[in-house]
Structure 1
Amino acid sequence: MSLLGMFCPMLFDVISALENYHPRVALQWQLGRIFALFLGNLYTFIIALMDAINLKVRDRSENSTAPPVTIHPADVPRGPCWETMVGQEFVRLIISDTMTTYITLLIGDFLRAVLVRFLNHCWCWDLEAGFPSYSEFDVSGNVLGLIFNQGMIWMGAFYAPCLPALNLLRLHVSMYLQCWAVMCCNVPQERVFKASGSNNFYMAMLLVILFLSTLPAIYTIVTIPPSFDCGPFSGKNRMFDVIQETLESDFPAWFSKVFSYASNPGLVLPFILLMV
């Protein structure tokens, strides 16, 4: 995923140069391609995780043996802690994405700037004006990276509750590192970037990534049985059952009745249509 996110935008730049669109249209096409790439990567990651969960459950069922007599039946493991596994994979994804960003800045920006700066006076052509020149700071690409990063956090926070805190630390460090790269290694973009003209475009992307990043979490809450041996939902048929049980035990009867009416499909579906 990290390698695709690193090299595919370069290919998209070539395609954008061949299309020869107006700069604003070309920027939106470029961002749309990168957005589709990021989204495809993220959903491929989710599908791979689901396959791994199903494989673990199947292997555990096939390799299970009769427990010794000395072990109480309640202490026999009955399945993998798949929620923990999913949370760990999201943490690994955030860390690997962060390291890829830092390595890209170090090699693609800093070493490139050092090469251009110190070899320009003894080279056959002008390295600053020609190839490789100083790298431009891609404002739109970095904004899109933040949107994609936010989608990963929305999707993974349910399985790894400390993920937003880890991401906050990552964003602070990245902000100072990007600031250093801009001041020392980058040059301004030749193509003028107007945030005000693209604000609705970015807000639409953020809304789409919010919607698509919550679908896997909603699917697991409503459909997949939780782990039997671990987690706050152990012993439940579905994670969603804890809502109804909490309403029945900890809230007044009238509140539970109001919630059951509010969750009626006849009311929910028109509300969803109104939101759309």
Structure 2
Amino acid sequence: HPHQFRPKRGAKLDRWQQPLVAIRALGFSGGPLARCGPEGPPPLLIGLFGTGIQSYFTFLRFLLLLNLLTLLLTAGFVLLPLVWLRPPDTGPSLNFTLQCPGGLQPQTGVPRFHNQLWNVLTGRAFNTTYLFYGAYRAGPESSSAYSIRLAYLLSPLACLFLCFCGTLQRLEKELPQRLFLGQDYRSPVSVKVFSSWDFCIRGQEAATIKKHEISNEFKVCLGEGRRFRLMQQQTRTQRACHLLTYLWVNVLIGLLVVGAISAIFWATKYSQDNKEESLFVLLQYLPPGVIALVNFVGPLLFVFLIQLENYPPNTEVNLTLIWCVVLKLASLGMFSFSLGQTVLCLGRNKTSCESFGYNACDYQCWENAVGEELYKLSIFNFLLTVAFAFFVSLPRRLLVERFSGSFWVWLDREEFLVPKNVLDIVAGQTITWMGLFYCPLLPLLNSVFIFLTFYIKKYTLMRNSKASPRRFRASSSTFFFQLVLILGLLLAVVPLGYVVSSIHSSWDCGLFANYAAPWQGVPELMALRLPPSGQRVLRYLGSHAFSFPVLILLSLVLTVCVSQSQANSRAIQRIRKQLVWVSVRWAGEGSHLAPERGLRGGALVGAWLLSGGGTVGAWSLASRRRGAWPLGGAR
């Protein structure tokens, strides 16, 4: 609560405490940054929908912070020096003669009826701004003390590295809890019954939210115990049937993924090969539309098929998330490959490709063309979020409330699917990382989208959604969310590294117009700025003589890490056994010492909590000192 950071009246703060108190007070009034911090989303959402929603909103906040950090690095090291130093122009472009069938094609290919709004949606209105790669210009490296080219090249790499470190840190933070709370560990329900209530609650609204939260926790705990007992009681025939169901469900899901990837490939190819058609306005958004359709229908089918396997909610969410990750990342990977085939002539032979390494006849500034495609993907994903919130979920809720009947009872309100929503924001973040080189200010756009998505999802949850009958824990999903984010980061790094190191830059736009590849500017800068001794050191670091000691050192570090992990696993097993032993001993001593009246009161408390409770009064701190349960039994 923000009041806990306020100093006492009359207390004096030194000069080090005053900024800290001010920053904390500002953070607690900062909208979603405050309400969806590491402690969780608004308590009302946790009480109504369970702790699984907490992982989603915490993940939103983490992605917002990553985008703001990326934007700060890009603006500080590239944009501000470029505006402040005003480096000289590069001069005339490289002279060449390009033989194209039918003459040199214009880059835009935009029909006359394109208006300004459509130009904004496709990104063409910002082609000459710092949003895209083509607007960044710089003179020779020897003309300025600050290298804009090196900053532009290393800033995305630094951003990706920091994002990887931040995600890995959160992944490492969640890993011990996931290892400790394995499937074979069950905490006693009696501990939750006798220690869940907070006697410091004063208001009626807070008490109601707390009752919902405790009720949801009991539903999760009892559901896990029931499924665990059913699994232990399965016969061989039932296990064989379960295995067959598992096989045909996963084969069917795999075929759906292959079909979706094929549709995305042909849609991207058709859109790029028919740029001069009269329906080019619709073809612009054909690949994003197909990707959105695939990623909307796919998770719904995955949820339905995986429920046939009768897994626990945690496992069900994680399996759905895994298949959604495969579908989403494979969609983006196939989109990138198809775009590379058209723009960079990967696997194709053309006259312009043989001369310049890319399709110079159709794409004079291919970096801008790729940036526009990623820009359109980002815009389209956010527009879909808005459209489904206000044109699908809202009318569905109004129709269900307005009409009665068996069909409307079956339809009901929308159920908030955490895997689908997480994959949507992970896909948007992956697109942002893929576009750091082509569209440096795309993190600014994604930050705005994430900020607005927080309020849109909050409105959808509070007004249009219903609580899922299958509850799951936040801790089990947070680990997978971070793992999915790392996979998206790797998907963005691989094509970006290939483009920077191997693909020829455009001949008439951008910072690397006269370079065979963007990375070629790094050796040139080293030759100009570093002394001979520094150049020899860098050459040694990139040689085979340095790689072998590094491999040996990494092998030793990996051996130590594996040994430490095995030791930690053995320690976790011992701690689990100690917890079970202590809980059994505590329960046995309590059964001998507790009077019959106290046991009856504890049973009534458990039934009261599971049923949602009745009217709750306002208990103060004094009630805790009296040592009373709400029904007056002994603890």
CA distance in 2, matches of 1:55, 1:211: 23
Find the counterpart in structure 1 of residue 313 from structure 2. 23
Residue 78 of structure 1 deviates from its aligned partner by 11
CA gap 1:11/1:243 in 2 versus in 1, 3 angstroms: same
Find the counterpart in structure 1 of residue 300 from structure 2. 10
CA distance in 1, matches of 2:442, 2:534: 33
The letter for the 2-side match of 1:139 is: V
The two structures have a TM-score, normalised by structure 2, of 0.38
Q: Report the more deviating stretch, 150-159 or 101-110.
A: 101-110
CA gap 1:253/1:117 in 2 versus in 1, 3 angstroms: farther
Find the counterpart in structure 2 of residue 170 from structure 1. 449
SS in 2 for 1:240: helix
Residue 136 of structure 1 deviates from its aligned partner by 1.7
Instruction: Pick the aligned partner of 2:352 from 40, 61, 69.
Output: 61
Find the counterpart in structure 2 of residue 44 from structure 1. 334
Residue 234 of structure 1 deviates from its aligned partner by 0.9
Q: Is the contact made by 1:78 and 1:229 (CA closer than 8 Å) also made in structure 2?
A: no
CA distance in 2, matches of 1:170, 1:11: 27
Residue 273 of structure 1 deviates from its aligned partner by 6.0
CA gap 1:236/1:79 in 2 versus in 1, 3 angstroms: farther
The two structures have a TM-score, normalised by structure 1, of 0.83
Q: Is the contact made by 1:105 and 1:181 (CA closer than 8 Å) also made in structure 2?
A: yes
Find the counterpart in structure 1 of residue 496 from structure 2. 217
The letter for the 1-side match of 2:382 is: T
CA distance in 2, matches of 1:184, 1:208: 33
CA gap 1:61/1:208 in 2 versus in 1, 3 angstroms: closer
Which deviations, in whole Å up to 9, do the C-alpha atoms of 1:224-256 show, x marking residues without a partner? 111111111111111111111112212343333
Residue 135 of structure 1 deviates from its aligned partner by 0.9
Instruction: Pick the aligned partner of 1:109 from 378, 390, 393.
Output: 393
Which deviations, in whole Å up to 9, do the C-alpha atoms of 1:87-124 show, x marking residues without a partner? 111001101111122212223311111111111xxx33
Residue 60 of structure 1 deviates from its aligned partner by 7.2
Q: Quick check: 1:236 aligned with 2:527?
A: no
Q: Is the contact made by 1:112 and 1:134 (CA closer than 8 Å) also made in structure 2?
A: yes
Q: Quick check: 1:86 aligned with 2:350?
A: no
CA distance in 2, matches of 1:189, 1:234: 54
Quick one: percent identity of the two aligned structures?
27
Considering only aligned residues, what root-mean-square deviation do their CA atoms show, in Å?
Answer: 2.8
CA distance in 2, matches of 1:90, 1:215: 16
Q: What does 1:102-251 align with in structure 2 at a 5 Å threshold?
A: 102-119=386-403, 123-125=404-406, 127=408, 130-251=409-530
Residue 257 of structure 1 deviates from its aligned partner by 2.8
CA distance in 1, matches of 2:519, 2:307: 50
Q: Is the contact made by 2:503 and 2:517 (CA closer than 8 Å) also made in structure 1?
A: yes
Q: Quick check: 1:97 aligned with 2:381?
A: yes
Q: Report the more deviating stretch, 10-19 or 27-36.
A: 10-19
SS in 1 for 2:336: helix
Q: Is the contact made by 1:60 and 1:79 (CA closer than 8 Å) also made in structure 2?
A: no
Which structure is richer in relative contact order (CA contacts within 8 A, separation 6 or more)? 2
CA gap 1:79/1:200 in 2 versus in 1, 3 angstroms: closer
Instruction: Pick the aligned partner of 2:322 from 11, 19, 32.
Output: 32
CA distance in 2, matches of 1:79, 1:4: 28
Q: Is the contact made by 1:136 and 1:186 (CA closer than 8 Å) also made in structure 2?
A: yes
5+ long unaligned stretches in structure 1: 65-76
Q: Report the more deviating stretch, 97-106 or 84-93.
A: 97-106
CA distance in 2, matches of 1:209, 1:40: 10
Residue 169 of structure 1 deviates from its aligned partner by 1.2
Residue 32 of structure 1 deviates from its aligned partner by 0.6
Q: Report the more deviating stretch, 24-33 or 86-95.
A: 24-33
CA distance in 1, matches of 2:544, 2:481: 32
Q: Report the more deviating stretch, 135-144 or 228-237.
A: 135-144
CA distance in 1, matches of 2:554, 2:374: 32
CA gap 1:101/1:208 in 2 versus in 1, 3 angstroms: same
Residue 147 of structure 1 deviates from its aligned partner by 2.1
CA distance in 1, matches of 2:531, 2:441: 32
SS in 2 for 1:19: coil
Q: Is the contact made by 1:139 and 1:193 (CA closer than 8 Å) also made in structure 2?
A: no
Which deviations, in whole Å up to 9, do the C-alpha atoms of 1:140-166 show, x marking residues without a partner? 332232222211111111110111111
Q: Is the contact made by 2:306 and 2:320 (CA closer than 8 Å) also made in structure 1?
A: yes
Which deviations, in whole Å up to 9, do the C-alpha atoms of 1:206-225 show, x marking residues without a partner? 22221121100000111111
CA distance in 2, matches of 1:176, 1:95: 18
Give aligned pairs, total: 258
